[in-house]
Structure 1
């Protein structure tokens, strides 16, 4: 590691635009997409802002760590799916759940009651064609000006990346699965 000197002088860029709702995308093959979105949800809730979290791949009865803490905090976290597609016994049913889930999420975004709406793992149903990308893009463009939306998942479509205000790509450098270490409660769930 090379030691650096802390920056002493830096040019501060002062934003000139107005504050408005943002579209944020967390994508890529690395770990941390959902975790980052849930961190934003905690930050917004900590500021007294209304937050709503939709999880497109989790079942409504899921009781992972995030469900337990958000329940204690009074932040709604809603499972819309029937588990990850590779575990599904009926992909048509999974697709129908995704479409129904999108209808709920779209109504929430357009309704404007929440400062932040998280669409966790929405990239799966988008990539599978279960949810029409054009509908999602239209909703994001037409949402109330104060509503922030975070979308997570691998392989975000180029059209969504283009529309978004902020896109972060999580890059896989190293993962414990590769060394044979299984998922661990409190880290993956």
Structure 2
């Protein structure tokens, strides 16, 4: 029998992680060698177990799936990465592919589909959930500049203007101007609404 593919499964929900691992274990050519509950643990487990493919949840504490992809790819370059999402957005798709993921799969996809995607990723093949790919074709462009996104992302953490200013090396007034510009560009009535719109579109997480 051919050597089985070594798979890492990372999801912050224990029941989902266990269910995915159990379903993949039913495939004769797949072997789940490690599990992780967040992005940081996923990278550490990948360093330790050297999987062929890592299956990561998009949204996890301690480093989400997308932010873990680049670090994992640096730590274990030969490991292909598949991202799972329950509510992906076109912007998430772009970020995932730019970070080095080869596949983006809906969490509700059949186990057989995920297994095939894992095999394909190991061969270097890309896969994108068809519904997400269709949405990406009609998604509105992101009107915000990188600075506006950076400031809005920090504002979403409910940080005071002074703290955001220190982190971005900007003056407090400049931070407020960026927030105001982002709010206007998104047609929002408030900073909170601007953050909600940006999150809904997947421009900030």
Structure with bigger RCO (C-alpha 8 Å, 6+ apart): 1
Q: With structure 1 as the length reference, what TM-score do the two structures score?
A: 0.39
Q: Larger Cα Rg: Structure 1 or Structure 2? A: 2
Higher percent of residues as helix:
2
Q: With structure 2 as the length reference, what TM-score do the two structures score?
A: 0.36
